[in-house]
Structures are given as C-alpha cells and as structure tokens.
Structure 1
Amino acid sequence: MLRLLSFLYWTVIVVTCPFFFAGALLIWVVTAPFDRRKVVLHLYSSAWAVCYVRMNPLWRLRTTGRQLLPWRGAAVLVANHASLIDILVLFDLFRPYKWVSKSEIFKVPVIGWNMRLNGYVPLVRGRGELVRRMMARCGELLEQGSPVLLFPEGSRSADGTLQAFKNGAFDLAVRHGVPVFPIAVHGTGRALPKHGLVLREQVTARVEVLAPLSPSDYPDVNALRDAARQRIETALEKGS
C-alpha cells in the first residue's frame, strides 16, 4: 500500500511541477522590475512546496517560532537534515531567505530552474575555489539584507542522528555580524529516510525555530557552531 501511495505521490509532483513553474515564471517577469530580492517569487515557491506536504495523507505539518524570524534584515538560518522532505517543510517558514543547496539539485528539470530563478545558491562540495565563490555569494546576499539557510551537517543523516556541524554557516555569521537562527526539524527522517523514495509512516513533521544566537556572545566560530548544534540537539531530544 505504501509503495502504491508513494508512486502516486511522486507522480502527482512530476505532473504538476511544470504548471507551478509556469506560475513562478510569470511572477518573476511581473515582479523583476521592483522586487530585486525576489521576495514575492520566494513566497510563491514556499506555497508551492508546502502544497506538496499538505496534500500527502500521511503527513501533518506544524511550524513553531516563525515569529522569531525577521521579515527584513540579514541572518543565517541553520537546520538539521535527515530527509529529502526537509526542503519542503522548511518552506513553511514563509520568510524571504535564500537556500544554499547542493549543485546537483539545480540540474533537476523544473525544480532546478525554479531555484535558479529565485537566486538560490548552489554548493559544489570539495572544490575549494567553487566553495569560496559560494561563500562570497552568501556574503553578498547578507549584505543586501537577505537571510541565507544552510544545512551545517553538509548532507542528510542516514539514521536521523544529528551529525557534526561544519563551520561555513557560522563563519558567515561572524564575518558579517548577523544572528544565527537554529531550526530543529522533527519527524521527517521517519517519514522518508535518506535512502529510497518509499514513504514509511504517518508522521507529524514539525519545524521549530529556536532563539537566535549573536556571534558577539561567543569567542570564536567554533563556539558559535557548537552552541547552535547544542540547541538543535536539545530541541530534538525534547521533541522525540
């Protein structure tokens, strides 16, 4: 039964994506002259993504702490990463941030086109010059007042266990003097683990925005990184 439901779910996504993208393209054309940060387009993309979560009969979605996130002003958002659907549920933040995502996703037809249209940032792992270019682009976005969202674990956790955090996101926050918002994503690893596309069980996924961290309160990047990871880990333990 779950295999059939999974097949139908992914089929609906494949069939409907081109129509949603047509709407995104129209919004981009209409708003480009006055919306340089592409806020309207991102909010449309958020509604598009959340639609796919809400229509799944196995999933419920709840977001808490959204009011902590500013509508204006730069910030670094960091979240744990256990499932492909983390991307969908994090769009429920409905705030105008920019994704930092692995470059392979930008090559996916329709989805990748929309990511480029939104001005999201591709990440090529392990290639020094391209990583530096990505960091520079994130810095430009922060200077323009756009928050950026990264997965500091670097990749999805195979078993849902919180992995070690890399320094990149926190180095950005320190360099540009912007707050870090830790975000705990609950339940997605049980719904759709890292390997495979078969939906596993009925879950209530929860996106929990935690209190921000100020870089000035920590002696260095490592301390800021560890504090953010500790907050997310504590939230996940309480929510399990």
Structure 2
Amino acid sequence: MRRIPCRAVRLRLRLVSTYCWALIGLTCPIFFVGALVVWAVTLPFDRRKVVLHFYSSAWASFYLVANPMWKVRVKGREHLPWRGGAVLVANHASLIDILVLFALMRPYKWVSKAENFKLPFVGWNMHMNDYVPLVRGDRASVITMLAHCSRHLRAGSPVLFFPEGTRSKDGRLKPFKDGAFELSVEHGVPIIPIAVHGTGRALPKHGMVLEEHVDARVEILPPLDPAAFDGVDALREAAREQIAAALGEPVARAGVRDVASTR
C-alpha cells in the first residue's frame, strides 16, 4: 500500500509541482521560437527532420535536468538504430513518459493522440516534426495513421508507439493493440520493446501533483525480427512479454485485435 504523505510533504510536493508547471509555461514559447528557427534553417536539406527532433529532445530534457530531484537513466541504447526503419513500442503509465523517452536521443517519429497536436507551442512543434496524429476510435484516422507511419518507415525513420493505447491507471501493463506490429510485419522492420520504469509514481494518470524524488529508468530491450514469428499475434505477445518481464510483472497473454495505439 502506498504511504500517504504528511501535510508538510504534501505542501512540498505542491510547491515542486507549481515550480515545474510554471517553468514549462514560461519556457515553452521561448523553446518554440528556437524550434521555428531550426525548422526553417534545416528544411532545405533535412527531409527527415532529424535536427529538429534532436532539438525537441533537448527541449524535453531541459525539464528533467531543471528538477534536480528527478533522475533518468537509459540502458540499452545500442539496440536503437541511428537510421533505418524500426517500430519502437513502450509501456505508458504517465505523461512523464514523453519527457523520459525523448532522452533516448535517437531519431524517431511519435504516434500521438490528435488532441496533443492542438496544444500551443508543443503541438505546433509536433506538426513541424511531422509526428503522427491519431484520433482514437476513428477507423479512418487509424488508416491515415498507418499510412503516415509507412511513409516514415520507407524514408528510414523509426516510429514510436504506446501500444496499450492510453496511459495505465494503476501502472500495470494493459493489453497491446495491433497497429505497431502490423507495420513491423508489413515492412519487415524490427520491433524494439522499451520498458519505462518509475514514471507512474512521478505523475499518475489524471494527477497534477508531481513527486519530488523520481528515479526513472528506460530499458531498451533486444529487437524482435518479425520474420521469426508466426504473424502479428505472436509478435505482439512476444513484445508484451518482454516488457512485462522487464517491469517485473507476471507474463500473461493479453492481446487484442484493435489496431489503434497512441498516448
């Protein structure tokens, strides 16, 4: 059972949260101006927008560094390609996952719910990066999303999915949807499972109060070759089992047939 913090601790957490949200609100316009400059300067020669993605990664990492009580460690970067198609799949327990996964420091394209693209500054930057929007529950949007991801894979850019489709309320791994794995099989590119530890405690779903001491860990697991599996179902379950094992959860087959997946 989670320990309920005392009044002094709760006050300190609220102060830390206020500082973090204020910092984000004050600096997003400044970072967005920088993103506009990077986008304009690199547009003629950087078709994959790799430079802009790394700028966006630095933008996100700034908020992790600015909170000295947060620590992020990344293990297994050698499994991530610098160039070439791949489908990255990660568990999703918190909004903090987004900041933490930018610490991968490799080029890739996010698949994200369409609402995020409407956010001031952050959403505009997502458009400039050519990240992939998805309207959840909309079949036409799913088809468009898969086509958009296919273009990125053919161009040599990995794509990153949260295959649970949404954040987990209790931190436990939810069933995976099929979209990421269909792309892997169709294009013959590897699935790279990623286990994200410690972020659910940092900012639980529907929560706004940030924990002051966070030890987040990103574990990049060995790639899965789709040719080694008997179709989408087997590939999906193998990826889920790898992530579940890395998270220390019981391994159970829990796949579903829906293809959509987003944060």
Question: Is residue 141 from structure 1 mapped to residue 152 from structure 2 by the alignment?
Answer: yes
Corresponding residue to 1:172 among 183, 191, 195: 183
In the alignment, which residue of structure 1 is the partner of 2:115? Answer: 104
Give the CA deviation at 1:201.
4.6
Rounded to whole Å, the distance in 2 between the matches of 1:71 and 1:200 is 33
Paired residue secondary structure (2:103)? helix
Paired residue secondary structure (1:37)? coil
**Contact 1:156 1:194 (8 Å CA) reproduced:** yes
Question: Is residue 11 from structure 1 mapped to residue 42 from structure 2 by the alignment?
Answer: no
Paired residue secondary structure (1:169)? helix
Give the CA deviation at 1:148.
0.1
**Contact 1:190 1:201 (8 Å CA) reproduced:** no
In the alignment, which residue of structure 1 is the partner of 2:241? Answer: 230
Question: Is residue 37 from structure 1 mapped to residue 48 from structure 2 by the alignment?
Answer: yes
Rounded to whole Å, the distance in 2 between the matches of 1:46 and 1:136 is 25
Corresponding residue to 1:51 among 62, 76, 81: 62
Give the CA deviation at 1:125.
0.7
In the alignment, which residue of structure 2 is the partner of 1:218? Answer: 229
Rounded to whole Å, the distance in 2 between the matches of 1:159 and 1:53 is 23
The CA RMSD over aligned residues, in Å, is 0.9
In the alignment, which residue of structure 2 is the partner of 1:2? Answer: 13
In the alignment, which residue of structure 2 is the partner of 1:132? Answer: 143
In the alignment, which residue of structure 1 is the partner of 2:33? Answer: 22
Paired residue secondary structure (1:46)? helix
Rounded to whole Å, the distance in 2 between the matches of 1:111 and 1:191 is 21
In the alignment, which residue of structure 2 is the partner of 1:190? Answer: 201
Unaligned runs of 5+ in 2: 1-11, 250-263
Give the CA deviation at 1:61.
0.5
In the alignment, which residue of structure 2 is the partner of 1:122? Answer: 133
Give the CA deviation at 1:58.
2.6
What whole-Å deviation, never above 9, does each CA across 1:23-79 have from its counterpart, x for those lacking one?
110001100000000000000100110111121133101001112111010000000
In the alignment, which residue of structure 2 is the partner of 1:151? Answer: 162
Rounded to whole Å, the distance in 2 between the matches of 1:157 and 1:208 is 18
Give the CA deviation at 1:181.
0.2
Identity %: 65
The residue type paired with residue 173 of structure 2 is L
Give the CA deviation at 1:219.
0.4
Scaled by the length of structure 1, the TM-score of the pair is 0.97
- Structure with bigger gyration radius: 2
Unaligned runs of 5+ in 1: none
Scaled by the length of structure 2, the TM-score of the pair is 0.89
In the alignment, which residue of structure 2 is the partner of 1:93? Answer: 104
User: Runs of at least 4 residues of structure 1 off by over 4 A?
Assistant: none
What whole-Å deviation, never above 9, does each CA across 1:159-195 have from its counterpart, x for those lacking one?
1000000011000000010000000000000111112
Rounded to whole Å, the distance in 2 between the matches of 1:105 and 1:45 is 15
Question: Is residue 202 from structure 1 mapped to residue 213 from structure 2 by the alignment?
Answer: yes
**Contact 2:16 2:212 (8 Å CA) reproduced:** no
Give the CA deviation at 1:14.
0.5
Rounded to whole Å, the distance in 2 between the matches of 1:213 and 1:67 is 14
**Contact 1:24 1:45 (8 Å CA) reproduced:** yes
